Structure 1
Amino acid sequence: MEYGFAVMGVAFMVTVAAVKLFRPIAVSIGLVDKPGGRKHHSGAIPLIGGLAMFAGIFLSSYIFLEQPPFVRVFMLGGAMVVFMGAMDDRYDISARFRLVAQFLIASLFVYGLKLGVGSFGDILGLGEIRLGWLGYPFALVAIIAVINAINMLDGIDGLVGGLGLTSFLGLSLLFVGGGQLNIAWLCLGLVGSLMAFLLFNVWGKPSDKTRIKKVFMGDAGSMFVGMALAVLLLFGANEQSAAFKPITALWFVLLPMTDMVTLMYRRIKRGKSPLAPDRTHIHHILMRAGFNARQTLYIMLFAQMCLVSLGMIFNYLPQTEAVSFSCCLAFVLAYQLLMKRSWRFIRWNKRRFA
């Protein structure tokens, strides 16, 4: 395990150094997020978190990890996602172009590494559900969906970084338990990079007079976190490299995926584009209910920790795939009821703290 901590430590230090290096460059080329519209932060904040995190994980992985095809393709796909995200952060590229680029990057993993979903397991209690050739297009859609779900959830400081840190830490334990030590160290490298980013994102200040200057993750960072999470979950649930049950992967993305699907359905129902931005994510509901940004962050991270922990517990219990899947469906149903009656929750919580 000491080896994994070394990877994490180097990733942390490289990410910190990369933030310091990239920050003045970002300001000079206009790679910053300015307040206005739905953005209420103070000052122009550099959008370099994703670039710095990728630098940290790339260098630490190159130094410490074995370089099988999966790790090499992971870094190539990560570089492509970060580049696309940085272009979007700087020039605001169209949603259609982003989707095409995401499709090509996802295809690199699915068809280049044969990273399909061979089976859902016995999630209905009626025997194993196998997908056959459909496992490849399903995996393709899954990668794109998780990338966008994580990207859409990036609404308050520390949220995507904290969710990613929780998920990668849990995945590192699962990969250790499954004997996939090289991939476990990759997950810990991601944890180290995210810890460094959170130092600047959560505790940094916009002012130039502070020692820790604030940075944002940007689309480059949120899409990289989404890609890394989706690909590692597919790899761990894949029959050729199985480290955990397929249903376990769902627990790690249950919160962002449920939030995204719910919002897209409600937007379509109102006659709007499913990709149109708004302020109806779960963290916006919590803030309208009277919680401040830091309290909302803690609530969301606690929820993610509970979901990841439940997934890991079910993973190691025998013959619980159907129960695990039923609990996932129960969470989705509870989420729908909360969102449908969110105005009641907002009013009740405001009265409670009045």
Structure 2
Amino acid sequence: MWGLLTLILATALSAAVIRGMLRLAPHVGLIDHPGEHKQHVHSTPFVGGFGVLAALLLAVGMLLWLLPAQSLAWASLAVCALVMWGVGLADDRWKLSARIRLVIQAGLALLMVYGGGIVLVDLGDPLLIGALSLGIIAVPFTVFGVVGCINALNMVDGIDGLSGTVAAGTLALVALVTLGAGDGSGHLLAMALLGGVAGFLWFNLRFGSQHRARVFMGDNGSMMLGLLIAWQLIDITQGEQPLVPPVVALWMFAVPLIDTLAVMARRVWLGKSPFSPDRHHLHHLLQRAGFRVEHTVTIIGSLHLGLGLFGLLGAWLGVPDALMFAGFVGVFAVYLRFTARPWRFVPMLRRLHRSLHLTPALNCGVFFGNSSLEHVEQINALVAPELKDNTVFRTRLYEYRGDPEHAGRRYAVVQIVVDEDIAPLAYQSLYMRLLQRVMRPDRNAFVRGYVTRDPANERRAEHRTPHADERRGERRVGRCELLEESFTYVQNGRIVDEQVNQRAHPQGHNDAAAPRADLARELR
């Protein structure tokens, strides 16, 4: 009862605080501007941590009221969270050095140990040698684990909704464990933090008409959440009667931990600093393969939750710690094996993307082959009535030439001209349904999403001389000629202007869509 009430109150409080900070942020400089290695193109407030902090303080207040005998632990929890939040906010605002952040994180980990009584003293039996007690290295090991957890969550905070979704998955698992074990204080804290994250995700996830994040979590939120998650994971795995074996904590925090270790191992392998920035995290690789932000968050969040549930299932079934640890190491090894060579892993992910029939990222086109339609006007007449807004779209009709097997066949590419921030997914899905229905009588025709080839993800872009057989297999045998091209202006489903160019210059079918700026100049 208390847990559900806390979840509702924390969610509402977090959302209210973040909404208030949205108005205040521009006046106090709490804005994350594009630049450097950041992917976003809009200045966005980094005030998500304010909502999570409010939820945490609500939980601490309730715990002090319900369990005053543990007031030192709750006060230590509040101080750790406040200081970590403040350091993260300072880092967001003024960019602190990594050394300063690590020193403060280590100091807060020591406060957790000596003020909150949260310390790793027992690792279970992961090596089949009996219970592994840390003894005199318990405190240093705890500090190492806490600092690692803080930075692992911070490092996956790369796209809208990802860090919040991952954190919510771990907190939901902790809430499930504490509820089943009757740990009232742990359950209340987990539910409060889950509510704080839920309130943040309302402004950060892409869903419905919200096509980009309205707020970011910022280092103030991600580092504080990482510390609080470390607190709870240590709490449920230690003590005379731990709620779950220590090895299960690895599974409950699997994706950030595995991804961070794999990325750092790859950097060391390449002779770089393990803390140097790059774009080889799992979410980067998925996006390079064409997955949209929404799909990337869904995939990683589902994977994270699935691994956590697998770990809990193993604990509830009494699977030996050694076997659980070996399984986790095996998952890490497989992950490292694939991600260490992104030039091979990305094409695999792209094939998965195509097999799932998902809409490619930053793409608003539809490709349909073996077309029986003879003119772009026919295609435009099919597409235009489905567009309800003032829109411009470009249609190109090609024909195979020079290949006896495919000679005479035609295919078309329809590309809508929109700003990527208004998420053309709805438009492309509409195109797909429309053209699939229209082309259904023609059994030879096929319709799929169209994505521009990215040379950075192609193996042929490597600086090497391919084998003759490989070169022959990759060569495009058929030559294609652009027959017609049109730019069509639509208002509320009606074509108000249509510019058709007949028999343009021959081009290859891998001709990428013109850059947005060039296309805009053409339309003007």
Interval containing the TM-score (normalised by the shorter chain): over 0.9
SS of the residue aligned with 1:35?
Answer: coil
Q: 2:115 aligns with which of 112, 116, 140?
A: 112
* Partner residue in 1 for 2:201: 198
- Measure how far apart 1:347 and its partner are: 2.0
Name the counterpart of 1:128. Answer: 131
Report Cα offsets for 1:289-309 as digits up to 9, x if no partner: 121111111110011011110
User: Is the 1:10–1:60 contact (alpha carbons within 8 Å) kept by the matching residues of 2?
Assistant: no
**Aligned with 1:139 (options 142, 146, 149):** 142
**Aligned positions of 1:254-265 closer than 5 A:** 254-265=254-265
Flag the 1:113–1:56 CA change in 2: closer, same or farther, 3 A: closer
Measure how far apart 1:193 and its partner are.
0.7
CA distance in 2: counterparts of 1:350 and 1:78, whole angstroms: 40
Contact 1:203–1:214 (Cα < 8 Å) also in 2:
no
Native 8 Å contact 1:204 1:213 kept in 2: no
Query: 2-side partners of 1:272 and 1:150: how far apart?
Result: 21
The Cα offsets for residues 155-189 of structure 1, whole Å up to 9 and x where unpaired, read as 01111101111111110111122221111111001
Is the contact made by 1:82 and 1:221 (CA closer than 8 Å) also made in structure 2? yes
Q: In 1, distance between residues paired with 2:247 and 2:167?
A: 19
Larger mean CA deviation between 114-123 and 159-168 belongs to 114-123
Structure-1 residue corresponding to 2:33: 34
1:129-278 counterparts in 2 under 5 A? 129-203=132-206, 214-240=214-240, 242-278=242-278
Secondary structure in 2 aligned to 1:129? coil
SS at match of 2:88: helix
More helix by share: 1
| Inter-partner Cα distance in structure 2 for 1:299 and 1:289 | 13
Q: Note the residue ranges of structure 1 that are not aligned, 5 or more in a row.
A: none
Contact 1:233 1:249 in 2 (8 A): yes
Give the secondary structure class of the aligned counterpart of 2:116. coil
Q: Report the AA paired with residue 44 of structure 2.
A: I
Q: Distance in 2 between matches of 1:217 and 1:319?
A: 37
Match of 2:7 in 1: 8
Question: Take 2:351 and 2:5, find their aligned partners in 1: how far apart are those partners?
Answer: 49
Helix, strand or coil for the counterpart of 1:119? coil
Distance 1:351 1:263 in 2: 23
1:116, 1:350 → 2: CA distance?
43
**Partner amino acid for 1:233?**
L
Mapping of residues 339-350 of structure 1, within 5 Å = 339-350=339-350
Q: Do structure 1's residue 287 and structure 2's residue 287 form an aligned pair?
A: yes
Larger displacement relative to structure 2 (135-144 or 245-254): 245-254
Q: 2:23 corresponds to which residue?
A: 24
Number of matched residues? 349
Per the alignment, residue 55 of structure 2 pairs with 56
Q: Which residue in the other structure is 2:508 paired with?
A: none
Partner of residue 335, structure 1: 335
Kindly provide the CA deviation profile for residues 118-154 of structure 1, in whole angstroms up to 9, marking residues without a partner as x. 2211222332222112122111100000001110110
| Farther off after superposition, 160-169 or 270-279 | 270-279
- Alpha-carbon distance in 1 for matches of 2:250, 2:303: 14
Flag the structure with more relative contact order, 1 or 2, with Cα contacts below 8 A and sequence separation at least 6.
1
The separation in 2 between residues aligned to 1:19 and 1:349, in whole angstroms, is 36
Partner Cα separation in structure 2 for residue 121 and residue 325 of structure 1:
10
Equivalent pair of 1:103/1:140 in contact (CA under 8 Å):
yes
Give 1 or 2: higher strand fraction. 2
Alpha-carbon offset, residue 79 of structure 1: 0.6
The change in CA–CA distance for 1:12 and 1:324 in structure 2 (over 3 A counts) is: same
Counterpart secondary structure, 1:239 = coil
Contact kept? 2:11, 2:198, Cα under 8 Å: yes
* SS of match in other structure, 1:302: helix
Q: Which moved more, 1:327-336 or 1:238-247?
A: 238-247
- Root-mean-square deviation (CA, aligned residues, Å) is 2.1
TM-score, length-normalised on structure 1? 0.93
1:188–1:227: structure 2 CA closer, same or farther, 3 Å change rule? same
Distance 1:213 1:332 in 2: 31
Could you tell me which runs of 5 or more consecutive residues in structure 2 were left unpaired when the two chains were aligned.
355-449, 451-524
Cα deviation for residue 75 of structure 1 reads: 1.5
1:178 and 1:133, CA in 2 relative to 1: closer, same or farther beyond 3 A? Answer: farther
**Distance in 1 (alpha carbons) for counterparts of 2:287 and 2:350:** 10
* Structure 1 residues 44 and 242: CA distance shift in structure 2, 3 A: same
Q: Percent identity?
A: 32
- Inter-partner Cα distance in structure 2 for 1:72 and 1:241: 24
Q: CA deviation at 1:240?
A: 4.5
Moved more, 163-172 or 71-80: 71-80
What's the offset of the Cα at 1:346? 1.4
Distance 1:351 1:327, change over 3 A: closer
Amino acid of the residue matched to residue 30 of structure 1? G
The amino acid across from 1:123 in the alignment is P
Per-residue deviation at 1:351? 5.2
Deviations 1:4-38 (A, max 9, x none): 11001111111111112222222112111111232
Give the match for residue 73 of structure 2: 70
The letter for the 2-side match of 1:59 is L
Residue 63 of structure 1: CA displacement?
A: 3.6
Higher mean C-alpha displacement, 26-35 vs 85-94: 26-35
CA distance in 2, matches of 1:266, 1:158: 25
Distance 1:204 1:295, change over 3 A: closer
Check if 1:86 corresponds to 2:89.
Answer: yes
Tell me the distance in 2 between the aligned counterparts of 1:323 and 1:213.
41
